[in-house]
Amino acid sequence: MKEILVIGASGTSGSAVLNSLVKKGFKVKAASRNPEKLTKTADVTPVRFEFGKSYSEVLKNTDGVFLMSPPLDPEAPQKLNPFIDEAKSAGIKHIIFLSAMGADASEETPLRKVERHLMNSGINYTILRPNFFMENFSTGFLAEMVKHGAIYVAAGDGKSSFITVKDIAEVAAAAFEQKLYGKELNLTGPEALDYHETVKSIGSAVNKDIAYNPIPEEAMLQGAIDNGMPEGAAKYLGALYHAVREGWTASINDNIEKVTGKKPTYFKDFVKENLSSWK
């Protein structure tokens, strides 16, 4: 294989995938809107990338692509499907698409439309559908709430089998290495927890009381919009938390261990590794 193009390489998921690929000996093109923020090494070449711009240079001498959508983007098909078409024309041999758990529940969801386009493209594909990231608590949208002692989301008492991006990245790297073509893999952590349990785990580790306050979906969406989130993205967020309340994110499987040979990370161990995030 020549090189792997990693879309979103400066983000949480992309950077983890980049690191996992390098550990397995792959050469990586690290794609970002701000490649100057990435470090060039013998194994990593930062490249400028934006959806809707020319892809010809970044696809040269590239065999595989790790593809992901901008987060909570209802226009994902309009952005990603033309890229998939150009990747096909450029002779890309394998695309791994980072989708989301539940994306295949409806053919009308944005990520499912991308999945279908990729599946019908003729390119060898692997689709990864992870559950909610544990990193949401440490570096994502819940981190500041945790630091201030209370989180407010419309999850009710629903449980999620939270997963770390490191585990997702290990699966992605193994999928390239093993040529796991034509696979659709739901990825979960080893246990399902509700938000009362997650904040209790963090609070015990940092010796601080952290509350979980379930709020109505309308209140969560309005708060997100008031904080600058586009309305379309807020509605997308609402759909995700509707799935949590309905119990659709509580399932557990062993796909991570099947692919990587390693057990997925428990939330309590994630907390121990990320204590500095909440100091």
Q: Is position 273 within any domain? A: no
In the chain, how many domains are there?
Answer: 1
Per-residue pLDDT in tens (0 to 9) along the chain, 279 residues: 679 999 999 999 999 999 999 999 999 999 999 999 899 999 999 999 999 999 999 999 999 999 999 999 999 999 999 999 999 999 999 999 999 999 999 999 999 999 999 999 999 999 999 999 999 999 999 999 999 999 999 999 999 999 999 999 999 999 999 999 999 999 999 999 999 999 999 999 999 999 999 999 999 999 999 989 999 999 999 999 999 999 999 999 999 999 999 999 999 999 999 999 998
DSSP state of 48: E
Write down the pLDDT at residue 15. Answer: 96
**Domain limits at 29?**
4-130+165-186+251-260
Per DSSP, which regions of the chain are E strands?
Answer: 4-6, 28-32, 44-48, 64-68, 94-98, 124-130, 150-153, 183-187, 211-214
Quick check: is 10 in a domain?
yes
Q: Give 184's strand partners.
A: 127
The pLDDT value given to residue 278: 93
- Using DSSP, state whether 14 is helix, strand or coil: helix
Sign of the dihedral defined by the CA atoms of residues 89, 94, 95, 100, in that order = positive
Contacts by residues 144-149 (CB-CB < 8 Å, ≥ 24 positions apart):
146/199, 146/202, 146/210, 146/278, 147/278, 149/208, 149/209, 149/210, 149/211
- Which pLDDT value is given to residue 1? 63
Strands (DSSP E) contained in 18-61 are 28-32, 44-48
In a domain, 75, yes or no: yes
Q: Is residue 239 part of a domain?
A: no
143 neighbors 137 (Cβ within 8 angstroms) = yes
54 domain residue, yes or no: yes
Dihedral angle over CA of 258, 260, 263, 268, nearest 10: -130
Per-residue pLDDT, 2: 76
User: Per the domain annotation, does 209 fall within a domain?
Assistant: no
pLDDT of residue 273: 97
Is residue 31 assigned to a domain? yes
> At a CB cut-off of 8 Å and minimum separation 6, what does 35 contact?
46, 47, 48, 49
- CA dist 63 and 75 (Å) reads 26
- In this structure, what are the phi and psi dihedrals at residue 267, rounded to the nearest 5 degrees? -60, -40
In a domain, 80, yes or no: yes
Find the CATH number of the domain harbouring 56. 3.40.50.720
